[in-house]
Structure 1
Amino acid sequence: VVATKTAARIIFKMTQAMVATTPAPVSIDTQHDDMVHDAQLDYYGVKLATCSSDRTVKVYSVAKDQEVSHTATLTGHEGPVYEIAWAHPKFGSILASSSFDGSVLLHREVQPMGSWTLVHAHRMHESSVNSISFAPHEYGLVLAAGSSDGKVSVITHREDDSWDATFFQDNMLGVNSVSFAPCSFMSASDDAKDGMRLVVGGCDNKVRFWKLNAETKTWEQDDFDSSKADVTHTDWVRDVAWAPTVSSFNTVASCSEDKTVIIWTQSEDDRTEWKPVLLHTFDAPVWRVSWSVTGTILAVSSGDSDVTMWKQELDGKWSQVASVEDSQPAEEQ
């Protein structure tokens, strides 16, 4: 789902492999009482969740004709809710949310359908939790959370139904975004989960890459320094997104307050270097980047209320293939 935020209204469209056949955007009155910060479809595209500064998370059912109906309102946060994430359906219908109050809440849908229960509350960060990301399902039910305290926590569900969390310090200024790498079958078969990787974007203008050490069970930072790359961000990195496809190359998109989006690529044969390419310089700060399921189309949400979609051509260059503009009248926003 690609969403633009306009007060309590969102505009979304289903991105498909062929952008030319994508249906027109659908405008939804979420009935939130304040700004909407995030909107996410579940794995099957039949549930939509939104979160807001009104401290709530709302869940909707999405029909085949894209008719959306509200089914639940989740509470528990004591501050604005900044981001939400759906777990893989193999774990059931689980929805995570992160908040300015420093907490991460995980809710599970139970019977009767439309009823939700809190299964875990993670309240160990000292400041706002700005971003959350579920690991690939092959690793189990694992969630990463990035906070303004500069730390990233990795929350893991155990077989005895308990939860534990580990932390690592990414930087001292604050973390704005986290994203897991896709799982390769080789790494997933390792009991030690060797190969689990994260990309982190922070307030120090840097993009950092981390890997779980199979022996020490600790997270270790790659030697790569994004600030010394040929192309780099000069302001806060607002979002990072690891492309969900497994291939001979790793691909990560990052966006920044400096109005740029950078595509980082790394060969599986050489994991010491990331090569950056400037996708585009926009007219306003760029807030979010999101890959399609196939990892071939990148959606970019910028501060001018515009969402653009980009695709890499055969010659390696990126070109814009579609856009979704927020055309709601000002009095309705």
Structure 2
Amino acid sequence: MLQTSLIPTGHADLVTHAAYDFYGERLATCSADHKIKLFHKLPDDTWELETEWKAHDAPILHLSFAHPIHGVLLASCSHDRTVRIWEEQVAQAGSGGPAKWVERGTLSGAKGSVRSVEFAPPNPAYGLRVASISTDSHLRVHTSLDPDLNDWSLAHDVHVPSLASDDVPETQGATPAEAATGGWALSWCKEKWWGSVVAVFAGNSPVARIIQLDDTPTALINLRPPGISPLTAISWAPSCGRSYHLIATGARDGTVRIWRAEAPSDDDEGAKSWSAETVAEFPKGPRVGVVEWNATGTTLTTSDDEGVIRIYKPTYAKNWKLLGKMTAEEPPAEE
């Protein structure tokens, strides 16, 4: 089993999410204590606290760094029904203090807790965009064309059904408590060549939906697995030159699936819509908390409710295998 070092965050309550910046040199954490903490990596690969601040008036649920082309920006979302945009202000030379993070926007309008937030990949045609989904099952995309980030507008507000289909009862396969606290998550397509596309799910649905947001939002395809276990996590892999897309999903029953999705080709007159199939499925276990790809979309990392992190990688035969796993437990002391 692999074992890594631990980061003592110092949060006063449950740590709800952690996010790396684009370069992997900084790590932001958020917590039910309403605070965001920012760490930077030292030469010996340990992490040092850089700064912290109270960011919301309720537990914070998710974080996302923007691409550095937009500057040093961080988005956070919370049970207080808002998304907040933060920009780093570098400390003046000689001041000796840490950089200050200034709020550049409070995005409201959600009628429930905002559970997931993610900046869109850079695309000059759309400017700076950030997507969020809340427990009212609405996907909202805000954009800002103002260089000072003082003017944010709602570009899209899309209702995402929380049911797999009209004939599947909303509470089927889940207790009433689970149905009331379903999963809400989203992940942008990382390549601009396919347009403005996002994968999203809401509530206790076992189905993820791929939605194109150019002009009028359009549902492209549903990722519909066998079974009815609600989804809990989703991640769209960077394509890195592939002609197809890989999307990973995690479910409440512990199942992790990797989907291969293909857009219609301009050269193929017979294919007029997107297609998708499952190319890997890993055994059921504890509820999946996170699925996340590496920078090249060649390695998938997952975490579960037992605190086990698993790393999967394809073989030369394109079969996905468990590469290793690690836990957050302290290694045994050496005698």
How high is the TM-score relative to the length of structure 2?
A: 0.82
After superposition, the C-alpha distances for 1:213-251 in whole angstroms (9 at most, x for unaligned) are 3xxx221112x3433xxx435222111100012421111
Q: Residues of 2 paired with 1:41 and 1:64: CA distance?
A: 17
Q: Quote how far apart the aligned CAs of 1:172 are.
A: 4.5
Q: Residues of 1 paired with 2:298 and 2:79: CA distance?
A: 33
After superposition, the C-alpha distances for 1:96-127 in whole angstroms (9 at most, x for unaligned) are 11111111111100020521100011111010
Q: Residues of 1 paired with 2:284 and 2:8: CA distance?
A: 28
Partner of residue 153, structure 1: 140
1:1-333 to structure 2, matched below 5 A, reads 25-112=4-91, 113-138=98-123, 139-159=126-146, 161=149, 162-165=151-154, 166-172=156-162, 176-184=184-192, 186=193, 195-202=195-202, 203-213=204-214, 217-222=215-220, 224-227=221-224, 231-232=225-226, 234-246=228-240, 247-268=242-263, 269=265, 270=271, 271-328=273-330
AA at the equivalent of 1:197: V
State the percentage of identical aligned residues.
26
AA at the equivalent of 1:245: S
Partner of residue 175, structure 2: none
Moved more, 231-240 or 126-135: 231-240
Kept in 2, the 8 Å contact 1:240–1:289? The answer is: yes
Q: Quote how far apart the aligned CAs of 1:180 are.
A: 0.3
Q: Residues of 1 paired with 2:222 and 2:11: CA distance?
A: 41
Q: Residues of 2 paired with 1:312 and 1:37: CA distance?
A: 30
Q: Residues of 2 paired with 1:243 and 1:108: CA distance?
A: 26
Q: Residues of 2 paired with 1:320 and 1:281: CA distance?
A: 11
Q: Residues of 2 paired with 1:307 and 1:136: CA distance?
A: 26
**Match of 2:6, SS?**
strand
Moved more, 75-84 or 289-298: 75-84
After the TM superposition, which segments of 4 or more aligned residues of structure 1 sit over 4 Å from their partners?
172-175
Superposition RMSD on alpha carbons, in Å? 2.0
**Match of 1:127, SS?**
coil
Q: Residues of 1 paired with 2:292 and 2:306: CA distance?
A: 17
Q: Residues of 1 paired with 2:222 and 2:27: CA distance?
A: 37
Q: Quote how far apart the aligned CAs of 1:324 are.
A: 1.4
Q: Residues of 2 paired with 1:74 and 1:108: CA distance?
A: 13
Kept in 2, the 8 Å contact 1:83–1:97? The answer is: yes
**Match of 2:51, SS?**
strand
Partner of residue 17, structure 1: none
**Match of 2:185, SS?**
strand
Moved more, 83-92 or 173-182: 173-182
Q: Residues of 1 paired with 2:47 and 2:254: CA distance?
A: 33
Cα distance 1:233–1:207, how it changes in 2: closer, same or farther (>3 A)? Answer: farther
AA at the equivalent of 2:217: W
How many residues in Structure 1 have an aligned counterpart in Structure 2?
293
After superposition, the C-alpha distances for 1:238-285 in whole angstroms (9 at most, x for unaligned) are 111000124211110000102101111122335422112342023211
**Match of 1:137, SS?**
coil
Larger Rg: 2
Moved more, 70-79 or 172-181: 172-181
Q: Residues of 2 paired with 1:142 and 1:233: CA distance?
A: 34
Structure 1, unmatched stretches of 5+, are: 1-19, 188-194
AA at the equivalent of 1:307: I
Kept in 2, the 8 Å contact 1:311–1:320? The answer is: yes
Partner of residue 3, structure 1: none
Structure 2, unmatched stretches of 5+, are: 92-97, 164-181, 266-270
Q: Residues of 1 paired with 2:226 and 2:104: CA distance?
A: 40
Q: Residues of 1 paired with 2:283 and 2:127: CA distance?
A: 38
AA at the equivalent of 2:153: D
Q: Residues of 1 paired with 2:88 and 2:312: CA distance?
A: 35
